[in-house]
């Protein structure tokens, strides 16, 4: 039933079938054709008959030929799919905005259905007047638009001990990047009259997991957004409809979905998600806590294991994503020899704070093996470290915050594999 486009196989087997279909290794088709192409010389059905009318799909989904560009999960990672995670198909996307329908999901008690009419947001604790807002109330505050990435702290977490999952979707796909519309948390705190003795806000969701996190007041007053739209439309259920918190640059677990309560307090709650989870065990067994910021990171999305080279030697576009939770991406370097030499890639546009940047290296492939790497830099001067540099500081058990440099081994056939290099 599902049709896989020849350019996007996800395994060696699919790759070989795809390669046969596109004539891998043959000189580029159109330029050297000596028999005429019936797709041009013969009238095709779509050039003669009629297509669908309007309203055939009142809300459109991607065309069937793109049906493999979907979120996927890794079954063995979690006990069930209710408290679990899946991955954005970053290997098949371009630009920087992630469509909501394929943006990764992470739930602790499943994606609930909460109507706007049933939605309530409470602010309590150290405030002059504890308040309750309806959804309609939120829409009456001045609102802002910002593009931010949301990355799970566990993105690339399966790779701490070594190369494990064969695809950018699985190694780096716990990330999405959307344009949010919402009200600054600062505005709501001011409305309730927050006490300056309150150094923290505790934010909590309405689902059964009651996922809650403590955020320092300084961040809460800075750029945190109470968001109700993403990419112009309502949030999807799986991303917290009708209201979620947006905590720019900080780990995704803090972006509370189905936000129902904000409590101003003088101390952190030390909830499950900020003690037993989302803390980073170091080599000696002590653990770091409050590791909120996502450090600068990058990954080449194509070529990659799920997006191999199918066209043979010649012009090749190497592309990928870079981001930093501490600022804007200023530069991305790419290596084709496993880190011996580097060249600076082209940013599609200047980096924006806490948002994905797209980079391109427009190059010629001579058909030989490559060890592809990307290395991001942000406007603090930070340079993305290698995986071994990270391991020297943190050991192998941190799970979270793995922002080490990724290597793809591109073979002469154009296939790619997740590897680690010396």
Binders in 320-349 for other proteins, by CB under 8 A: 333, 337-343
Which one of residues 21, 197, 222, 289 is an interface residue with other proteins (CB under 8 A)? 289
Which one of residues 141, 360, 363, 367 is an interface residue with other proteins (CB under 8 A)? 141
User: Going residue by residue from 30 to 59, which x/- string records binding to other proteins, judged by CB under 8 A?
Assistant: ------------------------------
**How far is residue 257's CA from residue 210's CA, in Å, rounded to a whole number?**
10
Which one of residues 66, 144, 179, 379 is an interface residue with other proteins (CB under 8 A)? 144
DSSP H/E element including 387: helix 387-394
Q: For the CB of residue 197, give the shortest distance to other proteins in the complex, in Å.
A: 15
Our finding on whether 137 is near other proteins (CB under 8 A) is: yes
Our finding on whether 117 is near other proteins (CB under 8 A) is: no
Our finding on whether 122 is near other proteins (CB under 8 A) is: yes
Q: For the CB of residue 201, give the shortest distance to other proteins in the complex, in Å.
A: 12
- Which of residues 26 and 369 has its CB atom nearest to other proteins in the complex? 369
Choose one: 46-54, 95-103, 203-211, 309-317; the region binding other proteins (CB under 8 A). Answer: 203-211
Q: Which two tokens stand for residue 152?
A: 């799970």
- Which of residues 263 and 356 has its CB atom nearest to other proteins in the complex? 263
Our finding on whether 281 is near other proteins (CB under 8 A) is: yes
Which one of residues 295, 316, 351, 374 is an interface residue with other proteins (CB under 8 A)? 295
**How far is residue 399's CA from residue 161's CA, in Å, rounded to a whole number?**
9
Which DSSP string do the residues of 110-139 spell out, in sequence order?
A: ------GGG-EEEEEESBSS-EEEEHHHHT
Our finding on whether 199 is near other proteins (CB under 8 A) is: no
Q: What size, in residues, is the chain?
A: 422
Our finding on whether 64 is near other proteins (CB under 8 A) is: no
Our finding on whether 115 is near other proteins (CB under 8 A) is: no
Q: For the CB of residue 40, give the shortest distance to other proteins in the complex, in Å.
A: 30
Q: Footprint of other proteins on residues 205-264 (CB under 8 A)?
A: 208-210, 212, 260-261, 263
Q: Which two tokens stand for residue 306?
A: 């799920």
Mode of pairing for the β-strands spanning 407-410 and 370-378: antiparallel
Which one of residues 79, 218, 349, 350 is an interface residue with other proteins (CB under 8 A)? 79
Neighbours of 329 (CB within 10 A): 27
Secondary structure (3-state) at 362: strand
Which whole-number Å values give the CA distances from 278 to 15, 84, 184, in the listed order? 37, 15, 25
Secondary structure (3-state) at 63: coil
- Which of residues 44 and 368 has its CB atom nearest to other proteins in the complex? 368
- Is-contact 102 69, C-beta < 8 A? yes
Closest CA to 61 of 31, 103, 15, 102: 102
- Which of residues 106 and 260 has its CB atom nearest to other proteins in the complex? 260
Which one of residues 288, 317, 368, 411 is an interface residue with other proteins (CB under 8 A)? 288
Residue 298: exposure state from Cβ atoms within 10 A (0-12, 13-18, ≥19): buried
Q: For the CB of residue 136, give the shortest distance to other proteins in the complex, in Å.
A: 9
Q: For the CB of residue 25, give the shortest distance to other proteins in the complex, in Å.
A: 22
- Is-contact 122 262, C-beta < 8 A? yes
Our finding on whether 371 is near other proteins (CB under 8 A) is: yes
Our finding on whether 124 is near other proteins (CB under 8 A) is: yes
**How far is residue 237's CA from residue 245's CA, in Å, rounded to a whole number?**
14
Applying CB under 8 A, the site for other proteins has a residue count of 107
Choose one: 54-62, 81-89, 92-100, 312-320; the region binding other proteins (CB under 8 A). Answer: 81-89
**How far is residue 258's CA from residue 207's CA, in Å, rounded to a whole number?**
7
Residue 6: exposure state from Cβ atoms within 10 A (0-12, 13-18, ≥19): middle
Choose one: 51-59, 234-242, 246-254, 273-281; the region binding other proteins (CB under 8 A). Answer: 273-281
User: Going residue by residue from 157 to 196, which x/- string records binding to other proteins, judged by CB under 8 A?
Assistant: -----xxxxxx--x----------------x--xxx----
Our finding on whether 383 is near other proteins (CB under 8 A) is: yes
**How far is residue 81's CA from residue 202's CA, in Å, rounded to a whole number?**
27
DSSP H/E element including 218: helix 217-222
**How far is residue 235's CA from residue 218's CA, in Å, rounded to a whole number?**
26
């Amino acid at each position: 039933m599902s049709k896989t486009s020849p350019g996007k196989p996800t395994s060696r087997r699919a790759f070989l079938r795809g390669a046969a279909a596109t004539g891998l290794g043959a000189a580029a088709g159109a330029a050297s054709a000596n028999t005429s192409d019936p797709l041009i010389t013969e009238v095709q059905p779509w050039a003669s008959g009629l297509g669908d009318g309007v309203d055939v799909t009142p809300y459109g989904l991607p065309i069937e030929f793109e049906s493999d560009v979907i979120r996927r999960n890794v079954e063995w990672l979690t006990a069930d799919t209710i408290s679990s995670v899946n991955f954005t198909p970053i290997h098949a996307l371009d630009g920087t905005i992630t469509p909501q329908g394929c943006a990764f999901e992470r739930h602790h008690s499943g994606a609930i259905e909460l109507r706007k009419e049933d939605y309530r947001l409470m602010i309590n604790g150290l405030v002059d007047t504890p308040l309750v807002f309806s959804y309609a109330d939120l829409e009456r505050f001045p609102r802002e638009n910002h593009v931010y990435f949301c990355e799970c702290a566990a993105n690339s977490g399966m790779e701490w001990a070594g190369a494990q999952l064969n695809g950018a979707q699985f190694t780096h796909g716990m990330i999405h990047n959307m344009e949010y519309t919402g009200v600054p948390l600062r505005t709501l705190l001011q409305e309730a009259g927050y006490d300056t003795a309150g150094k923290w806000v505790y934010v909590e969701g309405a689902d059964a997991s009651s996922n809650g996190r403590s955020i320092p007041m300084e961040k809460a007053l800075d750029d945190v957004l109470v968001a109700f739209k993403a990419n112009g439309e309502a949030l999807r259920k799986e991303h917290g409809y009708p209201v979620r918190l947006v905590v720019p640059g900080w780990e995704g677990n803090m972006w509370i979905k189905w936000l129902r309560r904000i409590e101003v307090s003088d101390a952190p709650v030390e909830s499950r998600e900020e003690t037993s989870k989302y803390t980073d065990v170091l080599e000696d067994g002590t653990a770091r806590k409050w590791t909120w910021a996502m450090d600068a990171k990058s990954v080449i999305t194509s070529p990659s294991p799920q997006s191999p080279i199918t066209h043979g030697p010649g012009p090749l576009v190497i592309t990928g994503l870079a981001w930093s939770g501490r600022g804007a991406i200023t530069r991305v370097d790419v290596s084709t020899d496993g880190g011996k030499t580097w060249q600076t890639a082209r940013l599609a546009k200047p980096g924006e704070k806490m948002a994905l940047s797209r980079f391109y290296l427009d190059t010629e492939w001579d058909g030989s093996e490559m060890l592809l790497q990307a290395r991001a830099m942000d406007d603090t001067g930070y340079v993305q470290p290698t995986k071994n540099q990270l391991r020297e500081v943190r050991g192998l058990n941190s799970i979270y915050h793995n922002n080490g440099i990724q290597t793809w081994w591109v073979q002469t056939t154009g296939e790619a594999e997740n590897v680690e290099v010396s």
